[in-house]
Structure 1
Amino acid sequence: MTSTKSRFSRFWTRSGRMGVSAWMMAVGALITVIFVAIALFSPLFLAWGWIQSPTEFLANPVHSPPAPQHWFGTDRQGYDIFSRTLFGTQVAWKVVLLATVLSLATGVPLGLVSGYLGGKADRVLLFLMDTIYTLPGLLLSITLAFVVGRGVFNAAIALSIAYIPQYYRVVRNHTVSVKTELFVEAAQAMGADTWTVLSRYLFLNVIRSVPVLLTLNAADAVLILGGLGFLGLGLPPETPEWGHDLRLALEALPTGIWWSPLFPGLALTSMVIGLSLLGEGIDDWVNPQLRSRGGRQK
């Protein structure tokens, strides 16, 4: 009887945690897909005349509350907040995806080669990446934004440099542990060259944790991009970007203009939550042993 109860308890705990993981992944994926759809269809809405241009000044009214003509109202510059919120999604995806691709394309190969070959180059790279990793992402991005200047591509570069060490460290550590496995040593004994070992035997084994890191970094990048915009860095002022719009909106908040910061803030927060939930759900799915260990501890 005790054994049956114990088995049922373990099964219930694991199933419950699996259910939570599936719920997080499903909700995160749904929110992410919604924001992807908004980014894709916003130009079509503009072309069909359903929304106004996010950079079109409205002579009247300024600081108008939400109404049928302007669903989210207008800001102090006369911009339509609904249009800028929609196109802010597109701008966020452009910068975040470009930043994650750049950091992924740089950090993963460096981690593979560094972990596999070792030696002095590995020690130098590890020291350099650890140094960059210790710097706060927002502070580093602010410094780089001053250096590279404004623009979508420049903002992506500033963000990507902050994330390269994370991909490097994860991939390098996995490579160091996997390269001593028997199947890698067998491939080396059969005469496989370095490129073959890296691409065929190591890459697929060390890349499993990268999707988790990618989604979590994307969520963090949305926040940092918003921070750069709030500080007046990253993108030109006329660009529909949530952080920049929040900075302008907060100046009018004491006068009772509540709608101006509300909708860009909700959009930014929702996108970050969606990507974070998706990343956590994928993490539980990719690393089930961590979930089961947590279940046993409870």
Structure 2
Amino acid sequence: MVDVPELVAQAREGRPRAVARLISLVEGASPQLREVMAALAPLTGGAYVVGLTGSPGVGKSTSTSALVSAYRRAGRRVGVLAVDPSSPFSGGALLGDRVRMADHASDPGVYIRSMATRGHLGGLAWAAPQAIRVLDAAGCDVILVETVGVGQSEVEIASQADTSVVLLAPGMGDGIQAAKAGILEIGDVYVVNKADRDGADATARELGHMLGLGEARAPGDWRPPIVKTVAARGEGTDEVVEALEKHRAWMDEHGELTARRARRAAREVETIAVTALRERIADLRGDVRLEALAARVAAGALDPYAAADDLVAGVTGPEQAPRHGA
């Protein structure tokens, strides 16, 4: 058992080990997770969460590193959650060393954490919302969340970030990929990275054309900009930061930031509730009620939907019948 109040106090002081320990408690679904979240709740809400997604090979890690440098030059504390594929053996993040962000490893104003998806679809780790909350409470001004980037499942970042950045690169068929993956609907800022390659201008034009064919926007609605960068050389990064700041200002002006965060919280609460219900239903295997309902369904005396309703009512009721054999 850990001293949660002390750990939270140390994280607020910017101690990396305390932040790491809190995120480990989150990833491990510690029995103390409820206590951790209760302690962090009043300390959150100040960080700006930026999600970066795109197909593998577009330069997400390099772009993330360039953004970290830009924000640090502006004096901002930065947290990075780099969500990687899971090792099939250990369950850990395959790219956990984050070698491409080594330049920031010794910077006390930067906290970098690799998280494994552990098989979770959508390009994000299941614990990402709570990990974001840890970094927020630890005093990060900006939190960059870099997704796995696995084609059509990468759109989940839109539900976790205040602003979603979609990266593309010339010569990768990313125009078609963007349309197929549905990421034309989630991007708030689009970045054509590796703009020193042939075809970068054509990629930007194609992207702009497809965005123009999207749903009509009313006057005053946010219109996603397209920024060209060469992240490996830091070119265009300041323009990306400027686009992000404009989007944040627009959201503040139109109440969209508050609305997005409320929707994010609603999804998080729903996920926790559904997980708890799933665990309670799984505990009913071998239970007298489930066996009885299953027998009636098999005999045609009850339809499966009515049986499921009865089962849910029993699980969510104040009392539960004793398990079979108890």
Bigger proportion of residues as strand? 2
Pick 1 or 2: higher relative contact order, CA cutoff 8 A, min separation 6.
1
Give me the TM-score of the superposition, normalised by structure 2: 0.23
Give me the TM-score of the superposition, normalised by structure 1: 0.25
